[in-house]
Structure 1
Amino acid sequence: MKKLIITICVAASLVFIGGNDTNAQITTHTVASGEFLYKIGQKYGVSVSAIKNANNKSSSMIMVGERLTIPESISASERDLLARLVMAESEGEPYAGKVAVATVVLNRVDHKDFPNTVRGVINEVSNGYYAFTPVQNGRINRPADNESIRAVDEALAFRGQGSGSLFFYNPKIATNQWIATRTETVRIGNHVFAK
């Protein structure tokens, strides 16, 4: 009976204390045979470099049975929002372009000149202009497809990579000439990525 009461109390405290959508808790992962940091990063939605930093690793070598600290990730709702943005911004673009669009958002989260959350970056309005057209025209409200979800997972696992791109645009349809003054990092499909 005592174990039942303790179990109920623990479950209730998890519901009331940890019942938000932030995933802002530190998790421990025990490395299984065949795992490597990239796959672990994809599983938890964190970058390889963040896992290495949290575990004071200078290389990507891990051992079976090793216990890794997994740092906090973005929330499930932010992950969904990002996947919906990726789909809306990069329909018809190659998979690499979808990953790069997600990476731009994540790079902005880490950059001092932008909001520090995925939701804040995506919904940012500056001088009356939306940062992302799909937020303005409502295309972001459509559910994400599997490829966009996968692209977000890959971008999260390699967060911070992507040549530091903070912007992307399609030069055939861009109306703001300022964006063309930014330093180009890469071209993927119809998009130019820049910083």
Structure 2
Amino acid sequence: MTMMMGIGSNQSTEAASVYTVKSGDTLYKIGQTYGVSVSSIQSMNKLNSNIIYPGQKLTLSQPVTQAEMDLLARLVSAEAKGEPYAGKVAVATVVLNRVDNPAFPNTITNVIYAQDQGHYAFTPVANGQINQSADADSKKAVREALAFRGQGSGSLYFYNPKTSTSSWIFSRQVTVTIGNHRFAK
């Protein structure tokens, strides 16, 4: 079956599992479009390099739905407003790292709407900003985070040290600081 849906469609990309490579495609472009990581594509297809050929059939694993990409972009937009692009990618990566970590829910939606002792994990969920449209940079950052999923420092948290009131978060190992956010695991 040939994958026919794109990032802009309103349909889920979950229905398709095989993609036929077209001229000009790269693993990165395919990963961004269908919400799968480059390393996942390589692993699923036993590829030892990034070289692919037109007509080649690639199996894609666990694509992310358009609705999940939109929700994640809205979270990134609200959480990283005014932050550099790299910070937007890092915020999206935190959510994806949580999905992949057994200590957290295993879907983007469930990670974003998770509660601990009656408090949402992400402020934009609590204050309603999650319902605002995402900006173009946030959408692009989500696609990039999905394409490079699993490659990074393993951050599971982020916070602004100037505004955070949680002493617990300061006990986490900082992996990187981007803009006003510290990322930690």
TM surpasses 0.5: yes
Instruction: Show the 5 A alignment for 1:99-138.
Output: 99-138=89-128
Spell out the pairing of 1:1-195 with structure 2 (5 A cutoff).
Answer: 22-195=12-185
Separation in 2, partners of 1:56, 1:68: 10
Contact 1:107 1:160 in 2 (8 A): yes
- Runs of 4 or more above 3 Å deviation: 20-23
1:26 CA displacement: 3.7
User: What's the Cα RMSD here?
Assistant: 1.5
- Counterpart secondary structure, 1:177: coil
Q: Which moved more, 1:111-120 or 1:70-79?
A: 70-79
Letter in 1 for 2:128: G
In 1, the alpha carbon distance for the partners of 2:32 and 2:11 equals 18
Alignment gaps of 5+ in structure 1: 1-19
Higher deviation after alignment, 104-113 or 56-65: 56-65
SS in 2 for 1:24: coil
More helix by share: 1
Percent identity, please: 60
Distance 1:82 1:178, change over 3 A: same
User: When the two structures are aligned, how many residues end up with a matched partner?
Assistant: 176
1: CA distance between counterparts of 2:125 and 2:79? 10
SS of match in other structure, 1:174:
coil
Structure 2 CA distance, aligned partners of 1:94 and 1:45?
22
Structure 2, unaligned runs of 5 or more: 1-9
Contact 2:13-2:34 within 8 A present in 1 as well: no
